[in-house]
Amino acid sequence: MACQASVVIVSMLAAMLLGGCAAQSATNDANAAYTSAAMASAPMDRASDLARPRPGDYVTNGDLNDIHFEFDSYEIRPAAAKTLHASMEWMKSHPDSMLLIEGHADERGTSEYNLTLGERRARASMSYMVAHGIAARRISVVSFGEERALCGEHTESCWSKNRRAHFLVKLR
């Protein structure tokens, strides 16, 4: 009988934990609804997935501004969407240019986690642009995680500058 009671208690605890994770997951999914939908519907350029771009071949362009993200997020916020639209207009007026989107994270989290988050930020930016008419074959992504920080202070103000997607161009 004691064994059955233990099984019931363990089952109840597991259900409560999983229920909490499901609720948190639902919240995270709702926050990233647009990004997930765009990433699912945008065709990915498998050639860019296989052949990693060489960042040295790309240069900064003053017409393409970084976009920034909330902590632990790769959701495209309204201010970032405006910035992306300006970048898309530039891309449309320069059809021979290629774009490299670098994903970056702040220093919090493991190196592996930050590399993954940086990639998700870069891919979310790419997916947004592809969903709005920029050909996927013109865009490559790379993640640097926390490795190329703009700011080295240990403050929220500094960390917010490091959570970004950075845009570089290469002319064909």
pLDDT tens-place string over residues 70-106 = 999 999 999 999 999 999 999 999 999 999 999 999 8
Burial class of residue 12, CB neighbours in 10 A (0-12, 13-18, 19+) = exposed
Distance, CA of 103 to CA of 118 (rounded, Å): 4
- The secondary structure of the chain in percent helix, strand, coil, rounded to multiples of 5, reads 55, 15, 30
119-133 tens-digit pLDDT: 999 999 999 999 999
8: CB partners within 8 A, 6+ apart: none
pTM, entire model: 0.69
